[in-house]
Structure 1
């Protein structure tokens, strides 16, 4: 069995003075967590023990009882009568921060030793302990009770005493077939939320290598992510090479146009003063609007990708491994738009990964090198062109693809998604180096542009970044690959969605 954890976010509705109590409760939690962090710093050997043993040691050092009447560093100096579950939640928060700090400190020391050993000057500053604490309060079992679909009782520090308050819950309902974890009180602006982790068990889908090598009927959903109109192009194929279905997820031009308009408004507002106050966020409402729309779009696209894979019973989801992408130089709104489109594409992969795992689908990534330049049928280099233009050369972002070796013609993004799926299969079924990686002769009739002639940037980064990630814009008419002889078995053609 496998486990997947997700978080259910619900809004709290409460009386006005309860908001002040929740703020005082969080302030006390952070004071207690900061106190225990100092205790750990004074007794660093605590970190050598498992968390359960470390908690016991820290309580012996700080908590006053009949058997332990004189602790080394009494917690009573911070506050009296702190509930046990509140104290233990703060201890776990402090332990997490302490482990993180000491791990970063140890890595810094190792880097410094290597630099000194090589005779280099080391200028990197060492990590420092947290200067301010802003941890959210975790509610263990004794800090809440009587939870229903619409309300929950929470024990909070009011600033003078501990009190139970009843707050209403609105939002997504908790699943009945999942195990609930300890909820957290999260502050977002002036509003308080309740985040509840939910753990679900399902049948383990198995490792990718085992699925691909033991069953030729294993279905793979390959996804080509773009920044054009077709944000994602998904193709389901089997390990033996049969293509089952293709889906074009559109909306790229709409989100890009919206984002560009908002960035243009921000640029015009900045030109009015030519001054941006240090330490202050300008155009807060516009930036918030851009972030929210990008976030909503990333969740929507990732959900549609996973739904398509689940609909066709795919057990593997594969993407390109796109690294640090940089937009081309140009106007502020165009450059900023492209940069945020890259960020949104990264979020689509992140969200699709956990959503797919929750449905029993595992995710993998492959090299993006030449995925948009290689023919999925004969593995030769292709020509990429616009509608109404001759099928020659390579135009980045063009929607159509043609191969002079096998005669294939079709949609360039769909061809790229097929190549992405084949890359995963070739990882576990290695073959001889395909012809796609060789230069096509000029007498084939296909003129392939050479990146080495590009004056703007060298050849390798351009290819590694998948032609500046402009895989093209598909037209409203869906183009399907023609059947040709290749080393892939006969393909099953279905109408695209």
Structure 2
């Protein structure tokens, strides 16, 4: 499969001189969005490449095109580089096309509501002309690398487009595993008052082709008390290793900040609290990245072929969850989805597969097959019907890994043979009742049949 990894190279030599370049590009993008919106009926059916050519005829003066319809573009953006112009046209066309798609969906929802006699108060989407877009510096025309940490880029300075030598921080490409990949053209990105070059690296990665009977599975449960609990198991159900991932300090700070935020909202209403939100977003991003890196490190250490997680659909909070508690639960749910996305991207880059299983009853059922469990007040300990006490998230990770292996066994087993297994173990009839004990019983039955 094709993978893309982007590395950030902060620019250390210039910052304020680059503001004009970004401003001119964003203004040109706004102008082109207006042009494409006015001519969208004729441009809608064209490909992106054909749209670029058509919009250039409408805006750019040449010898073969002396009187473009929107001649003020060349007047406002004098000597605008051709590669910048074509990049801006393609981006503007994507923005306008996305707006029309959203508008059509809004119309369909409105018509459906009116047909059923329901009230529809949702406002239609509006096209935004101003966007914080960042230009791509095409190699050879806008970007010329002179060494590992220096380059010449074309910028808008004092009313003209000139070449500017810059220096930027390098990266250890061997450490990032991109030294054998193709380097793409960089993007000039501003974060706060600083600029950086974001360089993408493209390559092909072959995912593992190990047989299901020989796979090593890294089962991950994104728990309530811990950020993640991982267990490594083989296809027979043998647990080879386990680990607990948690960021106690960061979560304690997050708890304090969310409490202060709710207190401030009670005093002054729900409004902009930029300082609180900035700190919360920073802590959450750190927790997400640290958790994903630790999961991948654990999977690499024990040579996992696949990482298995729960499919997290629409969040359902328990009844009686209000105020700060509900707010923290939502933050935790968003973090889980972002952790899954991060782990999937990193795993595919390393050649590992990622799979999702049904989350129903993974935490509610005991891994030893003794039935449903009871949780303590902190929700971190599960009490089995036999009186055994076990870590709730670790118990769930066993069931997650077992469900993935059982699903592969069911797919590779004939229907007649699987029905005979269900006759001996009725709990196999429903996937939501599969546990680690179910996997062990199936493996024993299959060995006896052979």
Q: Secondary structure at the match of 1:313?
A: coil
CA distance in 2, matches of 1:325, 1:84: 51
- Corresponding residue for 1:453? none
Provide Cα deviations, 1:155-212, integer angstroms capped at 9, x if missing partner: 1112511122122212534532121222112121111122112213221446xxxx6x
- Corresponding residue for 2:399? 419
**Would you say how many aligned residue pairs link Structure 1 and Structure 2?**
421
* 1:334–1:172 CA distance, 2 compared to 1 (3 A): farther
* Equivalent of 1:256 in 238, 247, 251: 251
* Equivalent of 2:193 in 182, 190, 207: 190
* Equivalent of 1:399 in 363, 372, 381: 381
- Corresponding residue for 1:312? 302
Q: Which consecutive unaligned segments of at least 5 residues does structure 1 have?
A: 387-394, 439-462, 464-480, 491-497
CA distance in 2, matches of 1:374, 1:52: 55
CA distance in 2, matches of 1:235, 1:277: 42
* Equivalent of 2:69 in 51, 72, 87: 72
- Corresponding residue for 1:46? 43
Q: CA deviation at 1:5?
A: 0.9
Q: CA deviation at 1:288?
A: 2.2
Do the aligned residues in 1 keep the contact of 2:149 with 2:170 (CA within 8 Å)?
no
Q: Secondary structure at the match of 1:199?
A: strand
State the TM-score, normalized to the length of structure 2: 0.83
CA distance in 2, matches of 1:298, 1:26: 31
CA distance in 2, matches of 1:292, 1:299: 11
* Equivalent of 1:176 in 176, 179, 183: 179
Do the aligned residues in 2 keep the contact of 1:31 with 1:78 (CA within 8 Å)?
no
* Equivalent of 1:55 in 49, 52, 55: 52
* Equivalent of 1:37 in 7, 25, 33: 33
Q: CA deviation at 1:333?
A: 4.9
Q: Secondary structure at the match of 1:487?
A: helix
Do the aligned residues in 1 keep the contact of 2:218 with 2:232 (CA within 8 Å)?
yes
Q: Secondary structure at the match of 1:216?
A: helix
* 1:482–1:111 CA distance, 2 compared to 1 (3 A): closer
Structure number with the higher helix fraction is: 2
Report matched runs for 1:461-480 at 5 Å.
none
- Corresponding residue for 1:449? none
Provide Cα deviations, 1:57-86, integer angstroms capped at 9, x if missing partner: 221222211111112223314322111111
- Corresponding residue for 2:414? none
CA distance in 1, matches of 2:102, 2:187: 26
- Corresponding residue for 2:233? 237
- Corresponding residue for 2:122? 124
Report matched runs for 1:7-156 at 5 Å.
7-15=6-14, 18-19=15-16, 21-44=17-40, 45-74=42-71, 75-141=73-139, 142-156=141-155
* 1:306–1:373 CA distance, 2 compared to 1 (3 A): same
* Greater Cα offset, 180-189 or 325-334: 325-334
- Corresponding residue for 1:477? none
Q: CA deviation at 1:294?
A: 1.8
CA distance in 2, matches of 1:347, 1:428: 27
Q: Which consecutive unaligned segments of at least 5 residues does structure 2 have?
A: 411-417, 445-450
Q: CA deviation at 1:305?
A: 0.7
CA distance in 2, matches of 1:106, 1:345: 32
Do the aligned residues in 2 keep the contact of 1:224 with 1:232 (CA within 8 Å)?
yes
CA distance in 2, matches of 1:333, 1:117: 40
Do the aligned residues in 2 keep the contact of 1:224 with 1:320 (CA within 8 Å)?
yes
Report matched runs for 1:269-308 at 5 Å.
274-275=267-268, 281-282=272-273, 284-308=274-298
CA distance in 2, matches of 1:118, 1:400: 47
Provide Cα deviations, 1:10-60, integer angstroms capped at 9, x if missing partner: 211234xx51x3222112111211222222222223232221122112212
